[in-house]
């Protein structure tokens, strides 16, 4: 099945800093999602981004499908950005079953 690797596994920032999280995948995909898991455990959709660039406030994401990676940018980080960030891609072809990466754990200190 498709392999999904996220880096870095852990990230510690001071409030106000910028960061880039990476998601590499081993095969072509037609769907990629970024999620934020908050400290209470809920997974929140950030982006549905099979290709191109999207922005939502301080967050933006870029997927380069031909090179099999996606990047999540967090600018001017805040303590509320803390949590785990997951990317997920279809297990195969047009599957509606996602394969998750292992996540990047982010801690933002005040």
Partner 1 sequence: DAMVIQNPRYQVTQFGKPVTLSCSQTLNHNVMYWYQQKSSQAPKLLFHYYDKDFNNEADTPDNFQSRRPNTSFCFLDIRSPGLGDAAMYLCATSSGGVDTQYFGPGTRLTVL
Q: Output DSSP code: residue 105.
A: E
Smallest separation, CB 107 to partner 1 (Å): 13
Residue list 37-96, contact with partner 1 (CB under 8 A): 40-45, 48, 50, 86, 88, 90, 94, 96
Smallest separation, CB 42 to partner 1 (Å): 5
- Per-residue CA distances from 88 to 48, 52, 55, 79 (Å): 10, 16, 18, 24
- Rule CB under 8 A: choose which of 57, 67, 97, 110 binds partner 1: 97
> In 3D, which of 57, 13, 6 has the Cα closest to residue 32?
6
Residue 91 to residue 75: CA distance in whole angstroms: 30
Smallest separation, CB 74 to partner 1 (Å): 20
Query: Total residues at the site for partner 1 (CB under 8 A)?
Result: 24
Residue 73 to residue 55: CA distance in whole angstroms: 9
Q: Residues interacting with partner 1, by CB under 8 A? A: 30-31, 33, 35, 40-45, 48, 50, 86, 88, 90, 94, 96-98, 100-103, 105
């Amino acid at each position: 099945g498709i392999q999904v690797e996220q880096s870095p596994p852990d990230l510690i920032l001071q409030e106000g800093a910028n960061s880039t999280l990476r998601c590499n995948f081993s095969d072509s995909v037609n769907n990629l999602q970024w999620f934020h898991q908050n400290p209470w455990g809920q997974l929140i959709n950030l982006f549905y981004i099979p290709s191109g660039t999207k922005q939502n406030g301080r967050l933006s994401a870029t997927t380069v499908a031909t090179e099999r990676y996606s990047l999540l940018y967090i600018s001017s980080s805040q303590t509320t950005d803390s949590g785990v960030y997951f990317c997920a891609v279809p297990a195969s072809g047009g599957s509606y079953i996602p394969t998750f990466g292992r996540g990047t754990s982010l801690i933002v200190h005040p």
